[in-house]
Chains A and B, each alone.
Chain A
């Protein structure tokens, strides 16, 4: 088997696994929605009530889940979005992909949000550290580059603090 064909088979398997995962998600959401809608009381003056739309959505999702399962079982694919709203996730890149950089970027964003939510560390410090750390992982670890990233982090975090808290009087996390 040529390397190109092997890649295509691997991509096909990943795509199928993603589709199965999506169908499972659709069924789970439909089930949860249906159960929760069943707990809602009817509304006194409203013929439809608050449960109708969630229940219809649950039925719709379940029906679509069945249709997608049947298609997969019959050997057909589920197709793909013609237009991607997030570019760069289509796997058609000619360059090397950096999955760990992507994961670290996401982890850092989650950590940044988590620390900000505590509201015990000042915004300016939190943001400065985040900008430096995120900037550092998005390129080679070279002393000069890291110094520039550090300087940018300090200037940007102080500017944001002054701009939003002092000038616009916005409540910052």
Chain B
């Protein structure tokens, strides 16, 4: 299937319905209090077992795109970031809406989202294939070094908590160890439990960490009050003049979003903060920021949507998930027997092209949906949490059970939900935990395959230039947080 075929396939009845459902659900969870796009994707993943790989990937990518965009509505009308990445939109979107221009705020945000998404699609399509071609030359030692680098990078970016981040990554890795060792067939770390012989499935673990933890956190904050503004269609349609006026800001913020999306572990929230800050620093009216500035809304929304394409580049080409939603996408590919990385381009071009095509068309569908369905979505955001939160638990239970029809997975999910709450309460970053969980089996199998080929010698790790370079970078990333802190202490 070529890229053109993938676009044509998307417009067949079934694929189009899958995509529209995915975008619609993604936008919806951005609007509904207490549910995030990551949670939706985790909840949906077990049910994609029964779908073809192409349909499953179409659905998940559509949810990914819709979820990043949906937060705009609650950010603008309720001053609540429906998704964490809309946090900067809250500052100015709500103020502009409060001044009597909710349609204008939503319209600008929506237009910026689609521009950011389209530019990141271009980056994805142009950059991913050459990177994948170059990455085919990588052997198991290079792949192992890359995974280690991803883990250290995501931990080192846990500002101020590098030690916690790294230990969380190791704790996540060890969750992947129990069960039958693939290379030797030896049972390990099962503690005599027959249930553990199959190991922990990553899905109930992710569901627990995402969904159960968030439901409990939402119950804790059940009394949170908001001042909602009524949605209005006035000003929803952005003119060509607006695109010209804000064009440079859209382009700059999108490039920031794409670049930050490529970096593992940083994510859309940081992208919108960096783009917002850059826009304010370069603005002729910086004082307007925080008081309903159009520039601010454009910067924040262009950047967070632009991360979607950037994030997919390392995921597809190197099999490196940089964040939580990426980890779920990575898990989805693995569940459908697809190995992300350079060989995906060679062995499963239909999947790669489906991802490319869906990424772009889902942004256009999202744009149309947000433009014409804004009043419906705005009504849904007032749904009481008393209905939503218990339903999330029911879907989590069903999702965990649906994997292997065993109650053990439900308990695993709830157990990791409790662990997630405790780790969050201790301010331990969860992203390295999930990345460790997903990447540990790949890291182990790559290193063991390499060692079997080298008769047990580790020397290729330092003899092969790419592996050595990646290890040197990893070492640099490892020591950097300590140097940074030492310098700060000296300056203080």
Interface residues of A (CB under 8 A from B): 15, 18-19, 21-22, 26, 29, 33, 36-37, 40-41, 43-51, 53-54, 57, 60-61, 64-65, 67-68, 71, 78-89, 93, 95-99, 101-102, 104-106, 109-110, 112-113, 116-117, 119, 127, 130-131, 134-136, 138-139, 149, 152, 156, 160, 164, 168, 170-173
Residue of A nearest to B481 (CB): A79
Q: Are B390 and A134 in touch, CB under 8 angstroms? A: yes
Measured in the bound complex, the distance between the Cα atoms of B273 and A100 in whole Å is 35
B313 to chain A, nearest CB (A): 20
Encode contact with A along B208-229: 1 for CB under 8 Å, 0 otherwise: 0110111111111111110000
Encode contact with A along B400-411: 1 for CB under 8 Å, 0 otherwise: 011001010011
Most buried by B among A15, A102, A149: A102
Interface of A is mostly: helix
Q: Are B269 and A83 in touch, CB under 8 angstroms? A: yes
Q: Which of A18, A106, A164 contacts B398 (CB 8 A)?
A: A164
Q: Are A87 and B84 in touch, CB under 8 angstroms? A: yes
Q: Are B424 and A85 in touch, CB under 8 angstroms? A: yes
Q: Which of A78, A98, A164 contacts B223 (CB 8 A)?
A: A98
Please give, as numbers and ranges, the residues of chain B lying within 8 Å of A46 by CB-CB distance: 183-184, 448, 451-452
Measured in the bound complex, the distance between the Cα atoms of B283 and A45 in whole Å is 64
Measured in the bound complex, the distance between the Cα atoms of B324 and A54 in whole Å is 24
Residue of A nearest to B397 (CB): A113
Q: Are B212 and A82 in touch, CB under 8 angstroms? A: no
Q: B233 an interface residue at 8 Å Cβ cutoff?
A: no
Q: Are A88 and B163 in touch, CB under 8 angstroms? A: no
Known contacts A54-B188, A173-B407; is-contact A43 B183 (Cβ 8 Å): yes
Please give, as numbers and ranges, the residues of chain A lying within 8 Å of B224 by CB-CB distance: 88, 93, 95
Please give, as numbers and ranges, the residues of chain B lying within 8 Å of A82 by CB-CB distance: 157-161, 429
Please give, as numbers and ranges, the residues of chain B lying within 8 Å of A15 by CB-CB distance: 427
Known contacts A50-B181, A60-B170, A93-B224; is-contact A88 B448 (Cβ 8 Å): no
Q: B466 an interface residue at 8 Å Cβ cutoff?
A: no
Tally of contact residues, B, Cβ under 8 A? 87
Q: Are B451 and A48 in touch, CB under 8 angstroms? A: yes
Q: Are A64 and B186 in touch, CB under 8 angstroms? A: no
Please give, as numbers and ranges, the residues of chain A lying within 8 Å of B420 by CB-CB distance: 86
Measured in the bound complex, the distance between the Cα atoms of B455 and A46 in whole Å is 9
Q: Are B219 and A102 in touch, CB under 8 angstroms? A: yes
Measured in the bound complex, the distance between the Cα atoms of B214 and A89 in whole Å is 9
Please give, as numbers and ranges, the residues of chain B lying within 8 Å of A116 by CB-CB distance: 397, 401, 407, 410
Encode contact with A along B50-61: 1 for CB under 8 Å, 0 otherwise: 100000000000
Q: B135 an interface residue at 8 Å Cβ cutoff?
A: no
B window 158-206: CB within 8 A of A = 158-167, 170-171, 173-174, 177, 181, 183-184, 186, 188-189, 191
Q: Are B217 and A88 in touch, CB under 8 angstroms? A: yes
Most buried by B among A41, A49, A130, A138: A138
Encode contact with A along B128-169: 1 for CB under 8 Å, 0 otherwise: 000000000000000000000000000001111111111100
Q: B260 an interface residue at 8 Å Cβ cutoff?
A: no
Residue of B nearest to A133 (CB): B390
A120 to chain B, nearest CB (A): 12
Q: Are B174 and A57 in touch, CB under 8 angstroms? A: yes
Q: Are B427 and A79 in touch, CB under 8 angstroms? A: yes
B window 442-469: CB within 8 A of A = 444, 447-448, 451-452, 455-456
Measured in the bound complex, the distance between the Cα atoms of B218 and A83 in whole Å is 17
A23 to chain B, nearest CB (A): 9
Q: Are B167 and A65 in touch, CB under 8 angstroms? A: yes
Measured in the bound complex, the distance between the Cα atoms of B161 and A15 in whole Å is 13
Measured in the bound complex, the distance between the Cα atoms of B224 and A96 in whole Å is 8
Residue of B nearest to A53 (CB): B444
Please give, as numbers and ranges, the residues of chain A lying within 8 Å of B425 by CB-CB distance: 18, 89
